[in-house]
Amino acid sequence: MSYLTLSPVFNDLQPAIVWTHFATLCAIPRPSKGEARLREHLQDWAEARGLRTSVDTVGNLIVRKPATAGREAAPGIVLQAHLDMVCQQNAGAEHDFTRDPIVPVLRDGWLLAEATTLGADNGIGVALALAALEDTSFAHGPIEALFTVDEESGMG
């Protein structure tokens, strides 16, 4: 994550493993049909952790985490979330969703973005799936995470 500047607004949010991933999603622009940079970042992140990845012909990313030792026969689970976000800004706001990061703020216990959508649909689902892939503290069967593209503009 060296090229990302993660907002300090996430520093005290718990569980930290989830909010660190959500901070990454805020830092990397991800409009529909513009998810490639985020997908490549997540693929590199997963492969650096020894997780298998593949990308299908439309750009969906699949990340596979093998079962914990002794749990190989346990049923697998599939986690799914979409990488793109609703790209809407307030009237008068200047935000380029292909270039500018989302700027989150914490106000009265709520995480939000001042002039744009936050991207929590479905960014929090992506963050939760990544946290499950990263967490080594629990025993599990095989886990497969499917991160789809282009959900917000027609489910192409």
At 116, list the tokens: 């744009």
- C-alpha–C-alpha distance, residues 97 and 94, integer Å: 10
Helices (H), the chain: 16-27, 36-48, 120-134
Dihedrals phi, psi of 145, to nearest 5 degrees? -110, 130
- List 35, 47, 72, 84, catalytic entry: 84
Q: In 4-148, which ranges are continuous DSSP H helix?
A: 16-27, 36-48, 120-134
* Known active-site residue 151: yes
Contact 141, 74 (CB under 8 A): yes
CA-to-CA dists, residue 100 to 8, 34, 79, 95, angstroms: 17, 12, 28, 6
Given 35, 150, 151, 152, which residue is catalytic? 151
Active-site residue flag, 84: yes
Q: Which residues are catalytic?
A: 84, 151
